[in-house]
Amino acid sequence: MDDKENTVKTDVTLADSPEKITDKDLRKSWFRWWYANEIPHSYDRMIAASLLWAITPILRKLYKKKEDLKEAYMRHTQFYNTQAVWGGGTILGITTSLEEARAKALAEGKGEAVSGDVINSTKVGLMGPLAGIGDAIDSGTVQYILIAIALPWAKGGSALGALFPWLMFVAVTYIYGFYFTKLGYKLGRSAATEIIGGKNIRKIIDGLSVLGLFMMGILASSYVKVSSSLKWTISGKEFVLQDIFNSILPGLLPLVTVLGVYWYFNKKGLKITQALLGLSIILGVLAGVGIL
C-alpha cells in the first residue's frame, strides 16, 4: 500500500512540475508584449492586460494546477504601466524568472516560495525608474537620430525619408528589447541594477547621448537659417555684418538662436508654443529694424 501511495504521489508531483522556459518562450512572450503593449489600454489597469497576454504562454507552462494558474492570472491584472522596451522587456524577463521560481517551489512543496506580493511589488517598483530611462533614450534620442539621418532624403522628395525612421525604430527597439527580456530572465531582480547602473549600459547611453548631440548640431546648422542684412559704409568702404560673422564663425547667428531657445527651455520648462511665439516676435522686430 505504501509503495502504491508513493507512486501516486510521484506521478502527481511530476504532473505538477513546471516545464523548462526556453529562449523560444521568451521570444514569443516578448513579441506578444512588443506588439500589443499599448492596445488594451484602460484607465484603472493601464496596460496590465498586455503583460498578462504576453506572459500567458509562460504561465501555462509553469503552473499545472488550475488554482495556481488562476492566481497568477489575477496577479497580472493589477495596475501596471511602463515604457515598452527598456521597462517592458526587462520587467517581463524578471517577472518570468520570479514566476518560475515560485512555480518550482510550489511543485516541490517548499514553504519558501516567492510570494505573489513580492512579484507584484517588484513590477511596481521597477516600472517607473525603467520607464524614465526608456523614454529618454528611445523617444528622446534614438528616434531623433533616425529622423535626422532621414531628413535629407525627405527633403529631396524620397519616400524613404518618411519610412526609414519608422522601420528602423521598430527594428532596433525589437532587437534590444528582446535582449533586455533575456537579461531580466537571466539576472532576475538584479537586472534592474544592471540596466540602471551597469557599466556597459551606461556606455551605450553615453554614446547615444553624444551621437544625439552631434545630430542635433548638424540639424541646427543645416535647417536653422538666420542671417543679418545690416550693412554700413565708412570712408567709402562698405561693411556687411553677416560677412564679419562668417569670418569669425560661420553659422554664428543660428548657433546663438538655438542656444537662446535651449536657455529658455532650461529656465522656463518645455513651453514650446510660448518659445515659438517669443522667437517669432523677436526675429520679426529685428528684421523690421533692418538687423536681420
The DSSP secondary-structure symbol of 158 reads -
- Binned at pLDDT 50, 70 and 90, residue 1 comes out as very low
Amino acid 208: pLDDT: 57
Q: What are phi and psi of 73, to 5 degrees?
A: -60, -45
Question: How wide is the angle at C-alpha 196 spanned by C-alphas 213 and 177, nearest 5°?
Answer: 80
- Binned at pLDDT 50, 70 and 90, residue 4 comes out as very low
Measure the CA–CA gap between 28 and 289, rounded to whole angstroms: 64
The residue-averaged pLDDT of 270-277 equals 76
| Residue 236 falls in which region: left (phi positive, over 0), alpha (psi -120 to 50) or beta | left
Measure the CA–CA gap between 177 and 189, rounded to whole angstroms: 17
What single letter denotes the amino acid at residue 249?
Answer: L
pLDDT tens for each residue of 23-69? 999 999 999 999 988 888 888 888 999 999 999 999 999 998 889 89
Q: Whole-model pTM? A: 0.65
Q: Domain coordinates of the chain in residue numbers?
A: 2-218, 227-288
Beta bridge partners of 237: 234
CA of 118: how far to CAs of 31, 46, 94, 98, 241, in Å?
25, 20, 12, 9, 67
The residue-averaged pLDDT of 57-86 equals 90
Question: How wide is the angle at C-alpha 148 spanned by C-alphas 143 and 149, nearest 5°?
Answer: 100
Measure the CA–CA gap between 84 and 65, rounded to whole angstroms: 31
The DSSP secondary-structure symbol of 109 reads T
pLDDT tens for each residue of 85-105? 888 888 999 899 888 888 888
Residue 256 CB-half CA count within 13 A: 10
Q: Alpha helices, DSSP H only, in the chain?
A: 2-16, 23-36, 48-62, 66-75, 86-107, 116-134, 143-155, 160-187, 191-197, 199-223, 241-248, 252-268, 272-288
Measure the CA–CA gap between 82 and 133, rounded to whole angstroms: 11
